[in-house]
Amino acid sequence: MPVTAPGQRARMHSGLAPPDGSSASRYFSAFYTVDGRRYSPDPGVKDVPVVFLVNAHSDLPAVALALQAAGKANIVVEGSVTDAPAVGTRRIELTDGLEVALLVAELIYEDGSSGLRPDLVVPQSRSAAQDRALEAALELARHPKSAPVARRPIPAHAVPPPDRTYPEMRYPPLEYRLLAAFRIWSVFHYFFPYKDLMGEDWDGVLKQFMPRMEQARNALEYHLAVAEMVTHVHDTHASVWSETLEEYFGAAPPPIRVRMIEGEPVITGIVDAEAARASGIQIGDVIVQADGEDAKARLDRYGKYTVASTPQSLQKSVAQRFLNGPGGTTLELVVRGDDRRTREAKLPRKSEYLDKLRNQRATEMLQLLPGNIGYADLDRLPVPMVDAMFEKFRDTKAIIFDMRGYPLGTAWAIAPRLTDKVSVPAARYRRPLVMSPAALRGGRSSEGAGIPFADHLPQSDKWKYAGRTVMLIDERTFSQAEHTGLFFEAANGTKFIGSPTAGANGDISRFYVPGDIQINLSAQEVRHADGRQLQRVGLIPDVEVKPPIRGIRSGRDEVLEKALEYVGVRGAALSGVGEAR
């Protein structure tokens, strides 16, 4: 009669599941099982005693386990008993001739049990003249043992232990600092979907930072080394956070918004008018010094530890935080105004300014502009107001969507109102698929494997807007904002006006390294619907325009002006709309 070998069960990962499972069901880890092979006897075969003699260096064929399970063979093990002869094993060569063998799978029988359970275990022979294991195997062949072998039951599903964050180790011992480097390397090696876009030798980065971890003399040097190592992945999503880093860089901002304009850190917004008046700060001022430090040197210092996908994203991220400090402290500035003269100014730092700085504009969110053009600030527009927006703009010639910031999830409600088409692919995804290779038949590696799928526009039974649409973009257009652009592009060919976006998309996951350091990363690849690259490129404007410093000072919004010109409205006087004042 046919006999069946046990299967092999191993771990697989669809993306990097965060340690607390907070990413819903987007990324997950699971078991996968390779079915056991079924063996059918040849016609006229006769039962004969069969004994398999193995040790730790043997490869036990699956048929041996099948015959043993059916009571038609015995297994003798010389030395210690492990599953290594019967399951997938990965060998790793270390230094000094040392090799490590890791089990990456486990046996799973039809009844849910597991484990290599020999019929007989014989101590390893100390003398070549006396082979006790062979003698025992021959004795079993003469007198076969037919009693079933008891195997251990195994859990039906995994309950992985929680990741340790080691919060008690702000400055971990050397072995834990090295562990941090290895963990960072391994997570990005196996789970980062954009590894081919790094533009660096990731193995070389590990070799570079192992000595850095060893040489770190205190907590701050160690945390900065971790932050700097992660910058080499070039992914704006890959932020690094710890209390030590927050204390060093500061978490409380002053009440001003700063952007890099013409290569200079320029004040482009104020969220506390009273504090600004008291300091004499004005929109359009160029920051020359901050707390006695040259502004560009300070930008470079912060930039060394800031992860970014593109140069414009790096400038945005650093400009947003290089003036931060402890809450309740005073920022001392030297600024240069329109008259080219420098002057000193002082501003308070407060954590409460963070919420006020979140929105990029304070002008009216929905407006009708000259020429019967609709304007919607997607940085502030909530989903419940989408239908009201379309009713307000029902008869307009065009809508300008201002996406110079971060949206509130409106793409899924707006894009279906821009097309009559159904089943429209809006973006292409690929989620890393990591599997224990030795459990696969042939032992093929899963490195570089992924699960491709498409993100389609939702359907809407509401009336569709048929006018032209444009979207304003710049370096502040990041992640979900860029995804919004993909949706609008796929829906009706919305045109982009402004400057290239951040170039970072892909739902975030995270992990920890010793010192309670949290590291985020893009965990799945996102591309345009037609397969074009988005990561490290960004959305490219159809019409490129960047605001000059003189425009910031005069209160103009050249990007919005160009958008109006694009849809056929020239010379319109703008005030109180977009970023115009």
Measured between alpha carbons, how far is 429 from 527 in angstroms, rounded to an integer? Answer: 6
pLDDT tens sequence across 163-204: 899 999 999 999 999 999 999 999 999 999 999 999 999 999
Question: In degrees rounded to 5, what are phi and psi of residue 463?
Answer: -60, 155
Q: What residues in the chain have per-residue pLDDT under 70? A: 21-25, 127-129, 437-446
Measured between alpha carbons, how far is 359 from 578 in angstroms, rounded to an integer? Answer: 12
Which DSSP symbol is given to 252? B
Measured between alpha carbons, how far is 66 from 55 in angstroms, rounded to an integer? Answer: 19
Residue 575 pLDDT: 82
Contact 51, 140 (CB under 8 A): yes
Residue 107, strand partner residues: 8
Contact 523, 479 (CB under 8 A): no
Within a 13 Å sphere around the CA of 173, how many CA atoms are in the beta-carbon half?
1
Contact 485, 410 (CB under 8 A): no
Q: 495-498 and 543-544 as β-strands: parallel, antiparallel, unpaired? A: parallel
Q: Which domains does the chain have, with CATH numbers?
A: 3-153 (no CATH), 248-358 (2.30.42.10), 366-566 (3.90.226.10)
Indicate the residue type of 342.
T
> Number of H helices and number of E strands within the chain?
15, 30
What angle in degrees, to the nearest 10, is found between the helix axes of 219-231 and 174-191?
20
Contact 484, 407 (CB under 8 A): yes
Residue 517 vs residues 166, 406, 558: alpha-carbon distances, Å: 9, 26, 41
Contact 242, 515 (CB under 8 A): yes
Residue 471, strand partner residues: 401, 496
> Where is 509: in which H helix or E strand?
strand 508-513
Contact 8, 105 (CB under 8 A): yes
Residue 507 pLDDT: 92
- Strand intervals (E) in 105-169: 106-108, 113-114, 120-122, 152-153
| Burial classification of residue 54, based on how many CB atoms lie within 10 Å of its CB (0-12 exposed, 13-18 middle, 19 or more buried) | buried
> Where is 489: in which H helix or E strand?
helix 480-492
- Cβ-based neighbour number of residue 288 at 10 Å: 17
pLDDT tens sequence across 327-374: 999 999 999 999 999 999 999 999 999 999 999 999 999 999 999 999
Residue 163 vs residues 104, 511, 514: alpha-carbon distances, Å: 19, 8, 10
**Residue burial 66-82, b: 16+ Cβ < 10 Å; e: rest:** bbbbeebbbbbbbeebe
